[in-house]
Amino acid sequence: MYWLAAELPPSIPPACVERAASYYDVPLPLLVSVLHQEGGKVGKAYPRSTGTYYGPGQISNKWVPRFSQWGYTAQQLTDNPCANVTASAYVLAYYEIRERDWPRAIARYNVGSLDTPAQREAGNRYANSVLNRWWNLYNKWVAAK
């Protein structure tokens, strides 16, 4: 997949993204689109009023207890791009199983819950942006051939 390396920052190994997407049955361009949208960096934690977010996929500190079952710490989610991308794919798959719908799963990746109008609005904006990125990847690398 020559296109994958062109769409990822050098700090994220394409093989990690492929493996995570495949393992959790997340469309590869979707996972790439979420990583683009999140815009996090390897080695960076992002403290905010709603918690701390780690690495490229900006994995919420709320997920750390879940990932600690598999040996991932907050530091690993911050510093290890493969751990972070795997966690990102897991979170997307987790929400897709619950929602049975990629747009809602993408929205929940960003806001967690869609219980309030404000959360639904923010989640929908995020999902629309990610879906637009996904569509642009398709047009750039598949439809353009």
CA 49 to each of CA 46, 119, 120: distance values in angstroms, whole numbers, following the listed order: 10, 15, 19
Distance of CA 130 to the CA centre of its chain: 10
For the entire predicted model, the pTM comes to 0.95
Burial class (CB in 10 A: 0-12, 13-18, 19+), 131: middle
In whole angstroms, give the CA distance from residue 40 to residue 57: 6
Q: Using CA of residue 104, residue 107, residue 108, residue 113, what is the dihedral sign?
A: negative
Count of structural domains within the chain: 1
For the stretch 59-103, pLDDT in tens is 999 999 999 999 999 999 999 999 999 999 999 999 999 999 999
Average pLDDT, the chain: 96
Beta strands in the chain (DSSP E): 45-48, 51-54, 59-60
At residue 42, the 3 state secondary structure works out as coil
* pLDDT at residue 60 in the model: 97
Total number of residues shown for the chain: 145
Question: Which domain range does residue 12 map to?
Answer: 2-143
pLDDT beyond 80 at 145: no
- Give yes or no for residue 142 having a pLDDT over 90: no
3 state SS of 9: coil
Res 2: pLDDT: 81
CATH number, position 63: 1.10.530.10
Cβ neighbours of 116 (radius 10 Å): 10
Q: Note the pLDDT of residue 143.
A: 81
